[in-house]
Amino acid sequence: MSAIISPDVSLEQLKSTTPVRLGVMASGSGSNFEAIAHGIINGELNAKIEVLIYNNPDATVKEKAEKLGIKAVLLNHRDFQSREELDLAIVEVFKNHGVEWVVMAGWMRIITNVLLNAFPRKVINIHPSLLPSFKGINAVEQALEAKVKITGCTVHLVDLAVDSGPVLIQSAVPILEGDTPETLHKRIQVQEHLIMVRAIALLAHLEN
Ligand code: GRF
């Protein structure tokens, strides 16, 4: 049983002339960050990751950035008094690097208007469910507990509420007999990497 991506746009259709300048935010393993970087290296995506921001000193995304030669900046949320202060620092780093689009690729912090106002309608997020179902943390577990037969992943424009905002692209992933959170999340992540690259290509295409 295969996944279904909608809209079913091919990367060929979405070639853009001007590279989009990306700032990526990640908290964890960074497989989505890596997928974007590989999409750029493979020529599927006309973009440049100007800088990665990560908030967790142990996040393995840092090593991935080093290997790829992409600048990584640690902004540890524990060093900031409020969410707004952290976002202010994020905005400063992104503006200093000429970032146009912000990609939340597994960013496990709630963002504020400080970031959204600095990049109006230019912040995207990836979430491991078919939004608006199963918002928040443990989305994969939530889908299994609800005993639905299909779940998936979503890339959407970000607004102030958690995991909310206009959907750009989704992939539907069947839940199989005997799936655990790990087996299901693994299949969802394969789709995340595909739709992440397509979502950025779509945005770049619309801008050009
Ligand atoms: C992904 O499942 C994403 O949907 C969620 O956090 C996870 C990040 O994975 N928001 P990775 O760090 O990109 O591997």
Indicate if 77 belongs to the active site: no
Q: Ligand 1 pocket, 30 CB below 6 A?
A: yes
- What string of DSSP letters covers 79-120? GSSSHHHHHHHHHHHHHHTT--EEEESS--S---HHHHHHST
Residue with tokens 């905002």: 165
- What string of DSSP letters covers 10-50? -TTTT--SSPEEEEEEESS--HHHHHHHHHHHTTS--EEEE
For ligand 1, the distance from its centroid to the CA atom of residue 195, given in whole angstroms, is 13
Asked whether 150 and 143 are in contact (CB, 8 A), the reply is: no
Q: Ligand 1 pocket, 151 CB below 6 A?
A: no
Average confidence score pLDDT of the chain: 95
For ligand 1, the distance from its centroid to the CA atom of residue 106, given in whole angstroms, is 4
What is the value of pTM for the model shown?
A: 0.96
30 Cα nearest atom in ligand 1: 12
Supply the DSSP symbol for 72. E
**pLDDT confidence of residue 206:** 80
Q: Ligand 1 pocket, 152 CB below 6 A?
A: no
For ligand 1, the distance from its centroid to the CA atom of residue 202, given in whole angstroms, is 20
7-37: pLDDT as tens digits = 998 888 887 788 999 999 999 999 999 999 9
Of 77, 97, 127, 193, which residue is the catalytic one?
127
Q: Ligand 1 pocket, 128 CB below 6 A?
A: yes
The best mutation among 24, 31, 170, 185 to test binding of ligand 1, ranked by most ligand atoms within 8 Å of the C-beta, falls on 31
105-163: pLDDT as tens digits = 999 999 999 999 999 999 999 999 999 999 999 999 999 999 999 999 999 999 988 88
Supply the DSSP symbol for 57. T
**pLDDT confidence of residue 16:** 77
Give the integer Cα–Cα distance in Å for 125 and 196.
9
Give the integer Cα–Cα distance in Å for 206 and 208.
6
Confidence tier at 95 by pLDDT (50, 70, 90)? very high
